[in-house]
A = this chain, B = another copy of it.
Amino acid sequence: MAARTKTATDPIACCTPVRTDSLDEVDAELLARSFAALSDPIRLRLLSFITSAEGEVCACDLVEPSGRSQPTVSHHMKILVDAGLVTREKRGLWVWYRAAPARLDALRAVLG
């Protein structure tokens, strides 16, 4: 899959799996940042909510089920977007999020 293909635009996909080879410092830094995005239960639930919905999810539908304030949810969504796990699109007054399965595939590939 794409996870095994080395490209200049996807620093995650270039990393060698933890299970088969030793990581250099640069790869370890990049991977650690991605796993850090998954290291908070609120972010895991936000991501799960988006990936389990087919298509896209409005930001306004994330605040209430997460049980956190609007600024807090916005903060966590920014972390997920920056990690490449979710894409963000503003249309009019609303923001729509979509899962980025390629990055999840890449992280999964690193674990084995």
Interface segment out of the listed A4-12, A89-97, A103-111: A103-111
Task: Determine whether A39 belongs to the interface, using a CB cutoff of 8 Å to chain B.
Answer: yes
A39 near B35 (CB under 8 angstroms)?
yes
Is the Cβ of B39 less than 8 Å from the Cβ of A22?
A: no
A25 touches B45 (CB 8 A): yes
Which residues of the other chain, B, contact A42 by a CB distance below 8 angstroms?
Answer: 28
Interface residues on A, range: 35 or more
Chain A interface helix/strand/loop/mixed: helix
Is A58 in contact with chain B by the CB < 8 A criterion?
no
Are A108 and B112 in touch, CB under 8 angstroms?
yes
Chain A residues with a Cβ under 8 A of chain B? 18-23, 25, 28-29, 31-33, 35-36, 38-45, 47-49, 51-52, 99, 101, 104-105, 107-108, 111-112
Further contacts, 16 of them, CB under 8 A, given A19-B101, A20-B51, A32-B40: A18-B47, A19-B52, A21-B52, A22-B48, A23-B44, A23-B45, A31-B38, A31-B41, A31-B44, A35-B38, A35-B39, A36-B36, A104-B111, A105-B112, A108-B112, A111-B111
